[in-house]
A and B are shown apart, each in its own frame.
Chain A
């Protein structure tokens, strides 16, 4: 899966599916597969042909990759400390807690984003209150996983609904779909590295059966 975004200063110029500024709805539809090319590249190893005993080194490299990606996401404001809260809630009794919560977030958020787009595309749209309800829900869930940029765009979107500003809402929706797509890509990447690391760490200490 592709990763990152081309950065100029603090601005992210997303290139989605090879086309700049593509339609937000299309972007959302391809959320599972959209590419946002950029400066950060994962060095996740695939088949290395390395002997088993050397795969332990892979686990350490993957751990470093994970931490670098996290640091990047924090630095870019994509995630905030609430994501660390989620990680604190994960332990041996609930080893996949973060990915389970985030997958629920993805599932529910995509429904909400479809609802928001559906409302705004209505010819005689006027139900800003309903849109506000969907936004509050998306804000609550986004802030609870530490999705800072998504939450901030929701805030701006909510302000537009409070002023019955349809063009403003449309712009905010485009931005929201873009930010959500980027977040989803990055978190998928993070979980992929985490899975590979767990696998490599497991292989590092093979069970001896005497």
Chain B
């Protein structure tokens, strides 16, 4: 059963998105379901935070970001041996674009907007 705001979990998550508004919303959603979380602004920072020794159960990865996009970051994290659940979150709906992102190493892909129901379904799979 997915956690709710009344039961803090031991799950941790990383939000990777260059959009400040979306970082705010996604972090708030994670807080609401009791998941401790951090946020970074691009794929490069996502890789760096893992290089510093931090790890997360869940990574919400945007696709288009400056410096290092979601596809590059996902490939890099997987090549580093990161086994976290990585979920792509993007506005793209074309099969070819989704497939390209999935082939980078995603566990799942969600079309924006993210909502609490979608988030809970992802967390259900992790727990």
Residues of A within 8 A of B (CB): 82, 85-86, 88-89, 94, 97, 100-101, 104-105, 108, 133, 136-137, 139-141, 143-146
| A145 CB, nearest partner CB in chain B, Å | 8
Residues of A within 8 Å of B19, CB to CB, are 108, 137, 140-141
Residues of A within 8 Å of B29, CB to CB, are 89
- Name the residue of chain B whose CB is nearest to the CB of A104: B21
Question: Could you tell me if A140 and B112 are in contact, using CB atoms closer than 8 angstroms?
Answer: yes
Chain A interface SS verdict (over half): helix
Residues of B within 8 A of A (CB): 19-22, 24-25, 28-29, 32, 62, 64, 90-92, 112-116
Residues of B within 8 Å of A144, CB to CB, are 21-22, 25, 112-114
The CA of A85 and the CA of B92, in the complex, are separated in Å by 21
Residues of B within 8 Å of A100, CB to CB, are 24
How many residue pairs link A and B with beta carbons under 8 A? The number is 55
With contacts A94-B28, A144-B25 known, is A85 near B115, CB below 8 A?
Answer: yes
For the complex of A and B, list the 9 residue pairs with the smallest distance between their C-beta atoms, beginning with the closest. A144-B113, A140-B91, A143-B113, A104-B21, A139-B91, A140-B112, A89-B28, A136-B91, A85-B115
Question: Could you tell me if B21 and A85 are in contact, using CB atoms closer than 8 angstroms?
Answer: no
| A21 CB, nearest partner CB in chain B, Å | 29
Question: Could you tell me if B28 and A140 are in contact, using CB atoms closer than 8 angstroms?
Answer: no
The CA of A77 and the CA of B64, in the complex, are separated in Å by 28
Question: Could you tell me if B22 and A140 are in contact, using CB atoms closer than 8 angstroms?
Answer: yes
The CA of A108 and the CA of B113, in the complex, are separated in Å by 17
| B116 CB, nearest partner CB in chain A, Å | 6
Question: Could you tell me if B28 and A97 are in contact, using CB atoms closer than 8 angstroms?
Answer: yes
| A148 CB, nearest partner CB in chain B, Å | 11
Question: Could you tell me if B21 and A136 are in contact, using CB atoms closer than 8 angstroms?
Answer: no
Question: Could you tell me if B64 and A133 are in contact, using CB atoms closer than 8 angstroms?
Answer: yes
- Name the residue of chain B whose CB is nearest to the CB of A143: B113
With contacts A94-B28, A144-B114 known, is A104 near B91, CB below 8 A?
Answer: no
With contacts A108-B20, A133-B64, A137-B19 known, is A89 near B25, CB below 8 A?
Answer: yes
- Name the residue of chain A whose CB is nearest to the CB of B28: A89
